[in-house]
Amino acid sequence: MQELKIGWARRDISTTQPVSIPGQFHIRVSEGVLDPLTLTALVIDDGERALVMVSVDTVLMLSDTIKLMRAKIAALCPELDDAAQVIFNATHTHAGAANYDGMAKAHLAFPVDPSIAIEPVEVYREFLASAAASAVAEAWRRRARGGYAYGYGYAVVGHSRKTWYFDDLSLRPDMAGRPGMCVNGHARMYGETNDSMFSHYEAGADHFVNLLYTFDQNGALTGAIINVPCPSQCSEGISKLSASFWHETRLLLRARYGDIDILPQCAPAGDLSPRILHYKSAQARRFKLKFAGRPEEFSEQYVRHDIAERLAAAFAETLEWARQDIRTQGHIEISTRKLRIPARPISEEEYRQEKDLYDDIMKEDFQADGTPRERLVHDSILAARRSRSLSILKRYEELRQDPCFTMELHVAALDDVGFAVSPFELYMDYMHRIQARSPFVQTFNIQLGPNEYCDRYSGYLPTARGFEGKGYSASRYCNIVGPEGGQTLVEETLRDLQILHAKINTPAS
């Protein structure tokens, strides 16, 4: 066991330039900053190895961004043994700035009115990567003797966002889905629950909040990892940059504990969201009374504050007992490797169907009338649908050459705490399978991690149940990997966790 050194740093990664905001099918151009986007870096060093984590308020990061970040970190902080072992994660805010080309290129495959200015993605990506490198380098320089404590609390944040029906929605004339967007079956994302055929939610919820606190050598709180199975996608339709409920959470915690650092992690939540669906009237009454006299200034402000209060309460309750076991010595182990898992197959029938659908989409015209903004919304949706449909045809050909998907698998350990990272929007069940069989006391699962090996979005990874029900997030448009690959990921993750656990618990010779 070695004496631990801990360092923190953070950067404001907001921009006042007009940038594309990803997270919807249409382009939103930013119109300023609602609240700061933050990049947070944490270094925990045991004298032999360093656990380095970077959390970014963005919807996701693709290979171009990850490669640039790693190159800049390696140049600015050569003391790190391997920048490829830095664990990145996106908080999945749907009001962050675009840092990747894929969606932008798909959306901008049509003329944009010259009156609408959009800063090139490359400019923001360079800014973001430089911020990541400088934050990691500063956190490394600021390493100082300290300790950590860990535990878990309870907070209701994520809810199942897929509703199931007794009938097949694809047979309803108004719910057959839309080519390039989704394929509905017995399930639908954000479906109407006040429906005589509504049956149940596809998933339950996970109310665990995994927490790891850090302290200076005098026992003063310096920061915390907060791991929550819910994407931060409140206010996802606005046109201002925002960190969603993480902003309110940071404000509440800093008001109580001082200027501490908060590193948010989105645990597997591909089938969850921060919205309730069947209790909307009750929620409206709750907010009317709870926030009486306080107008809602932007979309889902009440929801965001409500979530922040619950997270702050879980933080405080857990800190009270977890700090009885502050550890100033520790043992770190890290595993980073390339993993190939079965890809989701595309059948001959799906290919033929998609080819016909793609031909139909290509016959649809871009909008000729309306305001520049109206045309931008319409045309960007059409371009995105075309791109997603074409991607199915391309993947069909690719799968004939290679039936596997290549990804990065990151696993780390700090004494009794394990960390497992994947690049997918992973359905919640996979997290439970990993945690249930993990050899560690607590296992922090993290989604939307790095993957240099794929230049496109890794997509949602649904369970067999989700795959059967279809709907958005569980159709061919959304899945590069399916349930077979998901279980392979579970087994390989557990294999690596077992190896690290054995190393942690092997006495030094």
Q: What is the pTM of this model?
A: 0.96
**431 within a domain of the structure (yes/no):** yes
Structural domain total, the chain? 1
* Other Cβ atoms closer than 10 A to 508: 6
List the domain range (segments joined by +) for residue 411: 2-160+202-342+404-504
* Other Cβ atoms closer than 10 A to 505: 12
Question: What is the pLDDT averaged over residues 394-411?
Answer: 97
**386 within a domain of the structure (yes/no):** no
**323 within a domain of the structure (yes/no):** yes
Mean of all residue pLDDT scores within the chain: 95
Q: How confident is the model at residue 235 (pLDDT cuts 50, 70, 90)?
A: very high
| Per-residue pLDDT tens digits for 147-179 | 999 999 999 999 999 999 999 999 998 776 677
| Rounded distance between C-alpha atoms, residue 94 and residue 103, angstroms | 13
**239 within a domain of the structure (yes/no):** yes
DSSP 186: S
Residue whose token pair is 């119109």: 31
Residue 22's nearest CA partner among 88, 97, 86 is: 97
| Per-residue pLDDT tens digits for 14-25 | 999 999 999 888
| Rounded distance between C-alpha atoms, residue 388 and residue 353, angstroms | 14
| Per-residue pLDDT tens digits for 436-467 | 999 999 999 999 999 999 888 999 999 999 99
The answer on pLDDT for 509 being more than 70 is no
pLDDT at 179: 73
**20 within a domain of the structure (yes/no):** yes
Pairing of strands 460-461, 425-426: parallel
Rounded to 5, what percent of the chain is helix, strand, coil? 35, 25, 40
**283 within a domain of the structure (yes/no):** yes
**170 within a domain of the structure (yes/no):** no
**Main-chain phi, psi angles of 339, to 5 degrees:** -130, 135
**445 within a domain of the structure (yes/no):** yes
Least confident of 246-250, 302-306, 388-392, 407-411: 388-392
| Per-residue pLDDT tens digits for 247-292 | 999 999 999 999 999 999 999 999 999 999 999 999 999 999 999 9
| Per-residue pLDDT tens digits for 91-143 | 999 999 999 875 445 444 677 889 999 999 999 999 999 999 999 999 999 99
